[in-house]
Amino acid sequence: MKLNPKLTQKISYFILFLVTVFAIIPVIIIISVIVKNGLPAITLEFLTSFPKNGIRGGGIFPAIIGTFAIIICSIVIICPIGILAAIYLNEYAGNNLLTKIIKLAIINLANIPSVVYGLFGFSIFVVFLRLGVSIISGALTLSIMELPVIITTTQNALNSVPSSFREASLSLGVSHWQTIRYVVLPSAVPGILTGTILSIARISGETAPILFTAAVFYVPHLPHSIFDQVMILPYHLYITSTNVPYMPQKLVFGIALVLLIMVLTISSISIIIRIYFRKHKKW
Amino acid sequence: MFNLIIKNFSLYYYNFCALKNINLKIKEKNITAMIGPSGCGKSTLLRSINRINDTIKGVFTKGNINVLGKNIYNTKIDVEALRRNVGMVFQRPNPFPLSIYENISFGLNINNKNSINIKMAVKESLKDVLLWDDVKNKLNRNALNLTLEQQQRLCIARAIIMKPNIILFDEPCSSLDPIATQRIEELILTLKKEYTVIIVTHNMQQAARISCDTAFMLQGKLIEFNKTEKIFTNPMEKETENYITGRFG
Ligand SMILES: Nc1ncnc2c1ncn2[C@@H]1O[C@H](COP(=O)(O)OP(=O)(O)OP(=O)(O)O)[C@@H](O)[C@H]1O
Ligand SMILES: [Mg+2]
Instruction: List the domains of chain B with CATH numbers.
Output: 2-95+167-244 (3.40.50.300)
Residues in chain A: 283
Topology of the domain covering A42-49+57-279: MetI-like fold (1.10.3720)
A172 chain-B contacts, CB cut-off 8 A: 83-84, 87, 106-107, 110, 158-159, 162
Could you tell me which chain B residue has the CA closest to the CA of A282? B144
Buried b (16+ CB within 10 A) or exposed e, A144-181: bbbbbbbbbbbbebbeebeebbbbbbbbbbbebebbbe
- pLDDT tens, position by position, A32-57: 999 999 999 888 888 888 988 877 88
Q: What is the DSSP letter of A41?
A: G
- pLDDT tens, position by position, B42-85: 999 999 999 999 888 889 999 999 998 899 998 889 999 999 99
Size of interface A-B (CB pairs under 8 A): 68
Rounded distance between C-alpha atoms, residue B104 and residue B98, angstroms: 10
**Three-state secondary structure along A60-127?**
CHHHHHHHHHHHHHHHHHHHHHHHHHHHHHHHHCCCCHHHHHHHHHHHHHCCCCHHHHHHHHHHHHHH
Any atom of ligand 1 within 6 Å of the Cβ of B15: no
pLDDT above 80 (res B112): no
Rounded distance between C-alpha atoms, residue A241 and residue A148, angstroms: 32
Q: Mutation test of ligand 1: which of B22, B42, B170, B219 has the most ligand atoms closer than 8 Å to its C-beta? A: B42
**What's the pLDDT score for residue A223?**
87
> How far from chain centre, in Å, is Cα B215?
14
pLDDT above 70 as % of chain A = 98
**In chain A, alpha helices (H):** 5-38, 44-48, 61-87, 97-109, 114-121, 135-159, 163-170, 176-179, 185-204, 208-211, 233-242, 249-280
pTM of the full predicted structure?
A: 0.84
- Pick left, alpha or beta for residue B21 (phi over 0 → left; psi -120 to 50 → alpha; otherwise beta): left
Across-strand partners of B227? B213
DSSP codes of every residue in B67-103: ETTEETTSTTS-HHHHHHHEEEE-SS----SSBHHHH
Residue A283: pLDDT band (50, 70, 90) is low
Could you tell me which chain B residue has the CA closest to the CA of A175? B80
pLDDT above 70 (res B249): no
Any atom of ligand 1 within 6 Å of the Cβ of B56: yes
**What's the pLDDT score for residue B146?**
93
Give the least confident one: A1-10, A120-129, A147-156, B206-215: A1-10
Q: Hey, where are the domains in chain A? A: 42-49+57-279
A182 chain-B contacts, CB cut-off 8 A: 106, 110
pLDDT above 70 as % of chain B = 97
Torsion of CA A15, A19, A21, A27, to 10 degrees: 180
In this complex, the residue of A172, A178, A282 whose CB is nearest that of residue B158 is: A172
